[in-house]
């Protein structure tokens, strides 16, 4: 394990800053207590003690990003989780909303933090059950987003273990799922869902939706980030849109953006501008607003100016170009600029920058991060040092676009103790809320661990079944190999018998025959060739044709014609090849026949015959097809000279009568 003495540690906040700025992995909106516990768990798995050592590991290991995300985010979900909550959603919110809508109007829902997709398909089942057999006719789109790519892959496939639907009735399982051990959602449900990666904290929300499910997501975020998310969810919803939260999320009870539909199960409805006006009229009786736009604008400016002058802290409003739009007297007093005019000037061109040189840098940082920035400044004013606490907050439009900034200044020189007390009270309230949420998170973790154990047991059982299947496959393969060996032995015997017949056939031919492969290596040499050349087969088989110990001119002719036959795959002949000492006389015919398979040359059959040998009418069976002899040109000449005399058929080498006839024929030809 890494020791603190070897690696200097950093704080948790420094680790989060480094992950966000250097690796675009922002966890700064999450609760510190939750992050600390989950990070320590991950570091314990890696045997790492310090945040600095873990940061180095994060930089070196690309897979650590997804592993840390899986540790921080607890993907605990199931179909119809908290079934009573889903019943309340349908009874109190969803069904009344659907009844009041035109069925032809598109229905858009957003499941933020969808995890592996069970809640997405649960909502799809509810809608399919409501519309019945006509559900495919209605335009329904359920947008499901998450930052966990692995969980999104599972959701897109729509495949789950059989145990994940144990809470469903048999009718729903049979109607909306297919498969046995591994089940898949039906096409009707899958077509309703659109999955995509989106960060609820940093990415723009999906707008114009009628229903948002954001269950057990906000419990991981701190109070400031929760308020920011509520504003985004309010913007995303259509008028009278429904927001469905988890049972541990209760911050909306303090928000004026939503009204409660079912407080027990955290179901809310969006409060529109008209609703807000009506509520104020009923409660306080607001004054009549002038109808003329100019009077209304003047009145609003009066309200705005009165509000600024009433505030004790200093307020300076900047537009999107960092030009001061307005300020109040408190701001001028705090900065020692009473009587000065700041409106219309860029902030870097005012005395504010002289009083606090770091002010432009913090304004730029707020614009870059699009977030609130806090810092302290100690300017010298009238010879005294003032402790000013400055807050730069972005002004956002409903679409999330930054329209400007508010520079909020407080003199904390005499208020630090009071502020500390107030912060402690606020912290106590947040801690109570956080404790409740942490208990829920702990329950989620325990449930996740239980599901992991169940999954491990199922995987072990599946592995055992796979091993048994593999054993059976190996046994079957062994039997197939034995059958193939028997068949191979049978074919080998047939091949040996066939080779023996071919060899015997070539051996018994009455003329010299040799078989040469396409590499010019002699494969066969029959007895007639041995008698013709005086070379035994044992001395020439395996020898290269170019090294055959015969007359040089004959050897070159054999090599040349052999190469031609191999290249063109066509038979050729040498007519009247001179060879002294031959039993055919001083010259004979040589015939080259290609022996090929599937258009590829395998070998060449070379036959030596007398000049009067008639090749055209003689056909013999070769090693791979028919061997045809080609008529001799010298025989044709002999026929023209001798009238009606015809050349004889096969010349039987070795018979004395045949030898004498061959000699007579040779003499007549000469």
For the chain, the straight-line distance linking the first and the last C-alpha, in angstroms and rounded, comes to: 105
Phi and psi torsions of 479, nearest 5°: -65, -40
Residue 638: is its pLDDT beyond 60?
Answer: no
Structure tokens at 392: 């730069």
Confidence of residue 86 (pLDDT cuts 50, 70, 90): very high
Query: What is the DSSP code (8-state) at residue 73?
Result: S
Q: Are residues 366 and 475 in the same domain?
A: no
In a domain, 500, yes or no: yes
Measured distance CA(350)–CA(229) in Å, rounded: 35
Q: Are residues 360 and 406 in the same domain?
A: yes
Q: Are residues 274 and 327 in the same domain?
A: no
Measured distance CA(319)–CA(570) in Å, rounded: 92
**Is there a contact between 529 and 510 (Cβ–Cβ < 8 Å)?**
no
**Is there a contact between 495 and 513 (Cβ–Cβ < 8 Å)?**
no
Confidence of residue 268 (pLDDT cuts 50, 70, 90): very high
Q: Are residues 104 and 244 in the same domain?
A: yes
Measured distance CA(359)–CA(125) in Å, rounded: 55
Q: Sort strands 140-146 and 107-112 into parallel, antiparallel or unpaired.
A: parallel
Domain span holding position 516: 509-669
What's 349's domain CATH number? 3.30.450.20
Measured distance CA(297)–CA(300) in Å, rounded: 5
Q: Are residues 125 and 259 in the same domain?
A: yes
In a domain, 319, yes or no: yes
Measured distance CA(559)–CA(520) in Å, rounded: 8
Structure tokens at 637: 């000449």
Among residues 478, 551, 540, 549, the alpha carbon closest in space to that of 514 is found at: 540
Measured distance CA(420)–CA(86) in Å, rounded: 43
Q: Are residues 395 and 439 in the same domain?
A: no
Q: Are residues 241 and 322 in the same domain?
A: no
- The whole-number pLDDT of residue 302 equals 63
Q: Are residues 405 and 516 in the same domain?
A: no
- The whole-number pLDDT of residue 618 equals 44
In a domain, 420, yes or no: no
Measured distance CA(664)–CA(648) in Å, rounded: 13
**Is there a contact between 438 and 34 (Cβ–Cβ < 8 Å)?**
yes
Q: Are residues 596 and 662 in the same domain?
A: yes
The string of pLDDT tens digits covering residues 547-577 is: 888 888 888 888 988 888 888 888 998 888 8
The string of pLDDT tens digits covering residues 199-249 is: 888 888 888 999 999 988 887 787 788 888 888 899 899 988 999 988 766
In a domain, 286, yes or no: no
**Is there a contact between 522 and 538 (Cβ–Cβ < 8 Å)?**
no
475 vs 663, more confident? 475
Q: Are residues 241 and 156 in the same domain?
A: yes
Q: Which residues pair with 316 in a beta bridge?
A: 327, 407
Q: Are residues 252 and 119 in the same domain?
A: yes
Q: Are residues 87 and 65 in the same domain?
A: no
The string of pLDDT tens digits covering residues 602-636 is: 788 898 877 654 444 444 444 343 333 333 333 33
Average pLDDT, the chain: 78
Among residues 255, 258, 253, 254, the alpha carbon closest in space to that of 268 is found at: 258
Work out how many domains the chain is built from and give that number. Answer: 5
The string of pLDDT tens digits covering residues 314-356 is: 899 888 888 888 888 888 888 888 877 788 888 888 888 888 8
**Is there a contact between 120 and 79 (Cβ–Cβ < 8 Å)?**
no
Global pTM value: 0.44
Among residues 459, 454, 440, the alpha carbon closest in space to that of 166 is found at: 454
Quote the distance between the C-alpha of residue 39 and its chain's center.
27
């Amino acid at each position: 394990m890494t020791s603190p003495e070897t690696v200097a540690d950093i704080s948790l906040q420094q680790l989060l800053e480094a992950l966000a700025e250097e690796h675009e992995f922002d966890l700064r909106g999450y609760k510190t207590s939750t992050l600390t516990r989950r990070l320590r768990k991950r570091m314990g798995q890696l045997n790492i003690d310090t945040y600095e050592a873990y940061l180095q590991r994060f930089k070196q290991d690309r897979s650590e990003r997804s592993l840390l995300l899986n540790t921080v985010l607890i993907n605990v979900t199931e179909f119809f989780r908290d079934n009573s909550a889903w019943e309340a959603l349908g009874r109190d919110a969803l069904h009344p909303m659907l009844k009041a809508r035109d069925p032809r109007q598109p229905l858009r829902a957003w499941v933020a933090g969808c995890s592996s997709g069970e809640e997405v398909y649960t909502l799809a089942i509810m809608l399919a059950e409501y519309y019945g057999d006509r559900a495919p006719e209605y335009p329904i789109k359920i947008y499901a987003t998450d930052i966990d790519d692995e969980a999104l892959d599972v959701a897109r496939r729509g495949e789950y273990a059989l145990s994940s639907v144990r809470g469903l009735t048999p009718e729903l399982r049979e109607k909306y799922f297919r498969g046995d051990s591994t089940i898949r959602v039906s096409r009707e449900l899958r077509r309703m869902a659109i999955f995509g990666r989106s960060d609820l904290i940093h990415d723009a929300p999906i707008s114009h939706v009628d229903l948002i499910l954001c269950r057990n997501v906000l419990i991981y975020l701190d109070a400031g980030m929760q308020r920011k998310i509520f504003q985004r969810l309010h913007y995303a919803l259509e008028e009278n849109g429904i927001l469905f939260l988890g049972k541990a999320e209760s911050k909306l009870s303090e928000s004026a953006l939503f009204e409660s539909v079912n407080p027990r199960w955290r179901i809310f409805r969006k409060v529109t501008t008209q609703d807000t006006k009506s509520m104020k009229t009923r409660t306080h009786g607001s004054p009549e607003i002038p109808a003329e736009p100019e009077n209304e604008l003047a009145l609003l400016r009066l309200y705005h100016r009165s509000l600024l002058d009433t505030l004790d802290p200093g307020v300076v409003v900047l537009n999107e170009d960092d030009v001061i739009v307005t300020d109040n007297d408190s701001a001028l007093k705090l900065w020692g600029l009473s009587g000065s005019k700041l409106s219309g000037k860029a902030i870097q061109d005012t005395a504010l920058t002289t009083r606090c040189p770091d002010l432009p840098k913090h304004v730029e940082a707020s614009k870059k991060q699009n977030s609130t920035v806090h810092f302290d400044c100690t300017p010298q004013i009238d010879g005294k040092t003032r402790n000013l606490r400055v807050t730069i907050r972005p002004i956002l439009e409903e679409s999330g676009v930054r329209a400007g900034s508010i520079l909020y200044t407080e003199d904390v020189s005499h208020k630090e103790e009071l502020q500390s007390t107030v912060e402690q009270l606020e912290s106590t309230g947040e801690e109570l809320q956080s404790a409740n949420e942490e208990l829920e998170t702990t329950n989620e973790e325990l449930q996740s661990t239980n599901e992991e154990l169940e999954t491990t047991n199922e995987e072990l059982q599946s592995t055992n079944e796979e091993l048994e299947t593999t054993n059976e496959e190996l046994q079957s393969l062994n039997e197939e190999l034995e059958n193939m060996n028997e068949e191979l032995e049978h074919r080998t015997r047939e091949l040996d018998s066939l080779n023996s017949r071919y060899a015997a056939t070539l051996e018994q031919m009455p003329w010299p025959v040799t078989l040469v492969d396409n590499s010019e290596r002699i494969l066969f040499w029959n007895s007639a060739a041995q008698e013709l050349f005086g070379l035994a087969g044992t001395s020439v088989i395996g020898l290269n044709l170019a090294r055959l110990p015969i007359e040089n001119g004959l050897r070159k002719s054999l090599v040349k014609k052999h190469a031609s036959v191999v290249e063109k795959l066509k038979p050729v002949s040498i007519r009247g090849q001179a060879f002294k000492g031959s039993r055919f006389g001083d010259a004979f015919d040589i015939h080259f026949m290609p022996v090929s398979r599937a258009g590829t040359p395998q070998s060449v059959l070379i036959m030596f015959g007398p000049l009067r040998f008639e090749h055209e009418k003689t056909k013999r069976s070769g090693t791979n097809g028919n061997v045809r002899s080609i008529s001799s040109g010298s025989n044709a000449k002999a026929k023209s000279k001798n009238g009606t005399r015809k050349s004889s058929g096969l010349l039987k080498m070795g018979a004395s009568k045949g030898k004498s006839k061959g000699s007579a024929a040779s003499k007549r030809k000469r």
